[in-house]
Amino acid sequence: PGSGDDFDWGIVVVPTPADPSAPTVPEQPAGPGIQPSEVYTPGVTTGETIDYSDRKIPVYAGTEQNQLRHGDFIWAADHPDRLVYIGSQFRTRFGIDVSAYQNRASQNETIDWQAVRNDGVDFAMIRIGLRGYSSGKINEDAFYRQNIEGAMAAGIETGVYFFAQAITVEEAIEEADFVIERLRGLNINGPVAYDWEMHDSSYRVYGTSPEMATACAIAFCKRIQEAGYTPMIYAGTYVSYVKYDQGAIAPYLCWYPEYKSDSSEKLCPTLYYQPDYWQFSSKCSVAGIGGNVDANIQFIR
């Protein structure tokens, strides 16, 4: 969905206030320095491997192999920047994810969510906040409430995502609690996604061990689930293969980005594992939103 730091437009630095009248956040595990072994049990490998970037990546038991193939998708005739699933194994829905960038590009910094719905959007994932990838400060997206309320009012299934940069389990729990606090009273009906990214050495998460990265993702998801929401993990190919224990995160929804165009050799997601959501473009055009927007397909059995 997109990175961010203190210079990112559309963020508001907000301390999380202590509100004695607010519902209780799930109790945080006691003690500093929570270790990965305290959070999850490593997945069991099958002995098979995946070739990725000169590495042999272990395949985990208890996971579903990708069932999507080239030939299962075509570009829509009426929306040539949108892929349509024509296979038979899944029912699909079309959705988008947005952040303050889309608000800033739209008239009066406001997305016309009814126009979005009328343009065939079934679901939306709204950025609710982020941790700065260099500063480590947690910020909320300045338009998260406006976008959630607008999408919900238009009848669009609405979830949220948090751009995470946790390097300890405690930080992952802090990120989850930040999200939970801001969702109070909004009654979203979509998933809550953990979006942990690392593009280069400028990211504070650079060098995080696979064990700790996996523990952070699971700690976030457990916390979100305890609060009554459906957790989901957003991860690109590198993080999926190198940083995450796929056996351990298998219980959670998978949101996978891999962008396609007319020149793509394989018009399908190529991750070894079956994604629940596929972000196939960052350059989609949708009525009611200025500029480009990320486009997604949800696969439902």
d(CA 153, CA 149): 6
- Give the closest residue to 245 by CA, choosing from 1, 8, 36: 36
Domain coordinates of the chain in residue numbers? 38-300
Amino acid sitting at position 235: A
d(CA 223, CA 273): 24
d(CA 209, CA 182): 30
Asked if 256 contacts 68 with a C-beta cutoff of 8 angstroms, the reply is: no
Strands 192-196 and 231-234: parallel
Condensed to tens digits (0 to 9), the pLDDT of residues 111-152 reads: 999 999 999 999 999 999 999 999 999 999 999 999 999 999
pLDDT attached to residue 1: 83
- Which of the pair, 6 or 226, is modelled with greater confidence? 226
d(CA 228, CA 137): 26
% the chain with pLDDT above 70: 90
Condensed to tens digits (0 to 9), the pLDDT of residues 1-37 reads: 864 443 343 444 343 333 333 333 444 444 469 999 9
The CATH class for the domain spanning 38-300 reads alpha beta
Rounded to whole angstroms, what are the CA distances from 23 to 148, 181, 232? 20, 9, 23
pLDDT attached to residue 32: 61
Q: Determine the average pLDDT of the residues in 145-168.
A: 98
